[in-house]
Structure 1
Amino acid sequence: MANFLTRTRGRRHGGTRLHWTDWLSYAYLLAGLVVMFGPVLWLVMSSFKTESALSQFPPTFLPYSQKEVVVAGYDKPLPLFKAKDDQGQVRELAQVRRIGLVATMVDPAAPQTEIRVNINDRQPVNELKFASGNYTEIFGKFAFGTYLWNSVFITVVATVLTLLFNSMAAFALSKYQFTGQKTVFVLIIGTLMIPPTIILVPAFLVISELHLLNNLWGVILPAVATPTGVFLLRQYMLTIPDELLEAARMDNASEWRIYWKIILPLAAPAMAVLAIFSFMWRWNDFLWPLIVLSKSEHFTLQLALNAFQGELNTQWHYLLAMTVITLIPITIVFAFLQKYITTGIASAGVK
């Protein structure tokens, strides 16, 4: 594997230097890496910035924040600047107040003498500081634990039910012969052409009649069976030899046992692919939970993120920290199951 990843065209032909196509390939891969992961990395670094650091212009990649110093005679720490005094010397001064274009500053070592400086003649003294409080304080300021639990519960339960119902339907459509089999399959696939927004009102009326509004089950149940999942699993199950099922039936195995002991283990790659898709769909879902849930104690993380954006004030440092936290579960699931994606999708198209 290491030889495959490091081999180059120039060295493969006996040369010691990289071929120009090798440099072009590396440049292309590096550009793709920056385009794909650059915004995510910027988001992570911004989530460690203080509220004042986020409002600085021009913005910085690293979480720099203005240094503050404790000055005798003042209750709060004062921001530190590099400024010119009356003699034209550059010194580190602490700003007491600012009125218009003039800032009143003092020397931290001699705070008795006030110095007036034009704001254009000063530069803030920045220091690298990771504001870890953005992550720890959200648990005390907001019902973050409740939002996280609601999202985890909806995602996990919906994913399990999606795998169960879709695999059952795919098993029936791939391994049983009955009248109207192809018609049923075509109707299921045909629902892919219906935009999800078209069925929002009927789905809402059904959930309302079942008294599931402001209930997490009202978010879970409407889409536990997806046409994409049925199609993916059916195509994969068609590759499983029918002789295995016939041999199991000759050993008096029930249909449920065949499904549970033979079909599901052999369809594990496709099930893993569907699990990743379902997890991403449910974790990132915003529109349907917004319609069904109106009480804040039932909000998911996505609804909570939207609720934090006020009309007059938005606490961006908390919002960015919560956004990073919402990315962690999907990243973990994808990291553990990504090896099944290529196998599952490729095998699903064999027949």
Structure 2
Amino acid sequence: MNAVTTFLTRKAGGQRANWLDYLTYAYLLSGVLLILLPVAWLALNSLKSSSQLEKQDLSLLPTSFETVARATVSYPDGNQIFFIPDLPQWVLNWGDLSDDERAARDVSEFLSGFEGRDLYALRSHLGQVPSLVRDLIEAKNLPEWIVRYPSMSASARGEYDLDGVLTSLNTEDVRLLSEYLNLEPYEPARLALQVLVTAPDPVTGVETEFGISNFKATRDFTPARYVNNRNDDVVRLDTASITMRRTLDPSWENFTDPVIGRAFGVNVNFATCFTNSVLVTVIATVLTLLINSMAAFALAKYKFRGQVAFFIVILATLMVPPTITLVGVFKAVYATGLSGSIWGVIIPGAATPTGVFLLRQYMLSIPDELIEAARMDAASEWKVYWRIILPLALPAIAALAILSVIWRWNDLILPLVAIATTKEAYTIQLCLLEFRGEHLSQEHYRLAMTMVSLVPSTLVFVFLQKYITTGIANTGLK
């Protein structure tokens, strides 16, 4: 902490800061904000729920509005729309609960405290209608084909007397069976969440609770309904007078669901993708260091015909965009049988011209006398490379290792070419593409997993950056 304080209080000269000091710290601050603000925005949005992202909520923090349940129940004379206040959160979020969480709730006991239209709405919302119909069939000794009736074709339904069954039942049983079969006038009840707000009553001016479907601050008026069900009218509220209650509600399941394979609509397991990326990064980095250091040793310490031309050809490949060689890489991967395997991602990029150049320039600074002395002591060329060159070139090798980890971890083009047809071999970057499809977009999962994918490369760079600066700064020094 003292080192940080000392650094931040340094001055160009004198006891007081001058204009150059202010300009310098302003420049540093702007650079830090330019780098950190996008990452902070990504981190905060990764904790937002799917509904908050779909509504394009521009709030900075992952918050949620206090909600209330609005029910729609059908009757012979039309639909009734009303609110059911004070419902527990597990009821409001029933659609987001897992099967285990639903099984842990005593739904029958909960529904026993309701009757009438409230009961109709809640039993439909909690998915109790099918089981209640099966109990009704057993209790009334009704025909078993009723269970299969919703999935029958129109011609098959004509073979059964459904009207005769309905006429033998009382009104409550007719409603239950009609909701199950989706028959008029008793269609399935619906329960939707609306934002709970308070605003002056347009009639009395008293602060009253209302339910609104969505809130847009740019509108002058917002349509709303009374939560206390005093009437079914839709009233217009002055948007400026509306008060809403927000609570901090981070969605940690955005991180846990993809990792344990419970992400809805996603056909890949992120834990497997993470493991594949680790394997690709580690193995490819080891091969890159081995091959590049051998090539750099040969170019730096051996004299042979065409040495300069060969080195120029290697440097020239740095000017070739990767997209130009994409077709050639794909044909090579396919021809060698590596398509669909992580080896198709590891091997094609094992040798990099950047790594050869970086290590060669550093090895030029190693005195030739050390190599000659080793040879006079009967050391083999392999021992010279392994015992002398590699230890002395460790700063440059460490810098190349860190860069290779970052390159391999963030690579998308090569995995897209080599393993796009095999989901079991997907790396992290390919997995992130799976969270956005033609018919389903899981942006909350993609943002969360993007944050997870940033962690390894960020830690490598933050804690080992001194090796990068040391290795590159010393490159080419005699």
Quick check: 1:13 aligned with 2:129? no
Between the aligned partners of 1:187 and 1:125, the Cα distance in structure 2 is: 66
Q: Which moved more, 1:256-265 or 1:64-73?
A: 64-73
Q: Does 1:344 align with 2:465?
A: no
Which of the numbers 62, 87, 90 marks the counterpart of 2:207? 90
Stretch deviating more after TM superposition (265-274 or 87-96): 87-96
2:251 maps to 131
Change (3 A) 1:305 1:96: closer
TM-superposed CA distance for 1:238, in Å, is: 0.7
The corresponding residue for 1:275 is 401
> What is the match of residue 236 of structure 2?
118
1:117 CA displacement: 3.9
CA distance in structure 1 between the aligned counterparts of 2:350 and 2:325, rounded to whole angstroms = 15
Amino acid at match of 1:327: L
Look up the match of 1:213.
339
Q: What secondary structure sits across from 2:224 in the alignment? A: strand
> Comparing 121-130 with 41-50, which one deviates more in the overlay?
121-130
Deviation at 1:323, TM superposition (A): 0.6
Deviation at 1:319, TM superposition (A): 0.8
Q: RMSD between aligned alpha carbons? A: 2.6
Residues 125-153 of structure 1: CA deviation (Å, up to 9, x unaligned)? 21112111111111222411111111111
CA contact (8 A) 2:359 2:396 kept: yes
Residue aligned with 1:81, SS: strand
Classify the secondary structure of the residue corresponding to 2:404: helix
Q: Give the alignment partner of residue 413 of structure 2, picking from 287, 308, 314.
A: 287
* Mapped contact 1:106–1:113 kept (Cα < 8 A): no
Q: 1:57 to 1:198 in 2, by over 3 A?
A: closer
Cα separation, partners in 2 of 1:40 and 1:4, compared to 1, 3 Å: closer
- CA deviations 1:91-146 (Å, max 9, x no partner) are 44455999x96333415xxx787674436544442111211111111122241111
**Partner residue of 2:450 out of 316, 323, 330:** 323
TM-score by length of 2: 0.66
Contact 1:96 1:106 in 2 (8 A): no
Task: State the number of aligned residues.
Answer: 343
The one-letter code of the counterpart of 1:50 is S
Q: Is the 8 A contact 2:211 2:224 kept in 1?
A: no
Q: Deviations over 1:177-235 (max 9, x none)?
A: 22222222122112222222222222222211111111110111111001110000000
Following superposition, the deviation at residue 158 of structure 1 comes to 0.9
Instruction: Note if contact 1:49-1:130 (Cα within 8 Å) is conserved in structure 2.
Output: yes
Q: Distance in 2 between matches of 1:27 and 1:93?
A: 48
Kept in 2: contact 1:270–1:344 (CA 8 A):
yes
Task: Say if 2:380 is the partner of 1:262.
Answer: no
User: 1:65–1:126: 8 Å Cα contact kept in structure 2?
Assistant: yes
Query: Which consecutive unaligned segments of at least 5 residues does structure 1 have?
Result: none
Q: CA deviation at 1:279?
A: 1.4
User: In structure 2, what is the Cα distance between the partners aligned to 1:126 and 1:250?
Assistant: 78
Equivalent positions of 1:49-64 (< 5 A) are 49-56=48-55, 59-64=58-63
Q: Is the 8 A contact 1:103 1:116 kept in 2?
A: yes
Which of residues 315, 323, 326 in structure 2 aligns to 1:197?
323
Q: Does the CA contact (< 8 Å) of 2:210 and 2:225 recur in 1?
A: no
After TM superposition, the structure 1 = structure 2 runs for residues 67-82 of structure 1, keeping only pairs within 5 Å, are 67-68=66-67, 71-72=86-87, 73=118, 75=122, 79-82=195-198
Distance change in 2, residues 1:127/1:172 (3 Å): same
Q: Deviations over 1:283-330 (max 9, x none)?
A: 111122112221222221111111221224311111100110110110
- 1:55-105 superposed Cα distances (whole Å, 9 cap, x missing partner): 44561222222123662557477642233334223344455999x963334
Question: Structure 1: which amino acid aligns with 2:14?
Answer: H
Instruction: Pick one of 340, 358, 364 that aligns with 1:232.
Output: 358
* Percentage of identical aligned residues: 48
Q: 1:3 to 1:103 in 2, by over 3 A?
A: closer
1:8 partner letter = K
Q: Secondary structure at the match of 1:80?
A: strand
Q: Distance in 2 between matches of 1:128 and 1:114?
A: 32
**Using the alignment, how far apart are the partners of 1:7 and 1:97 within structure 2?**
52
**Relative to structure 1, is the Cα distance of residues 14 and 325 closer, same or farther in structure 2, using a 3 angstrom cutoff?**
closer
Cα separation, 2, equivalents of 1:144 and 1:288:
19
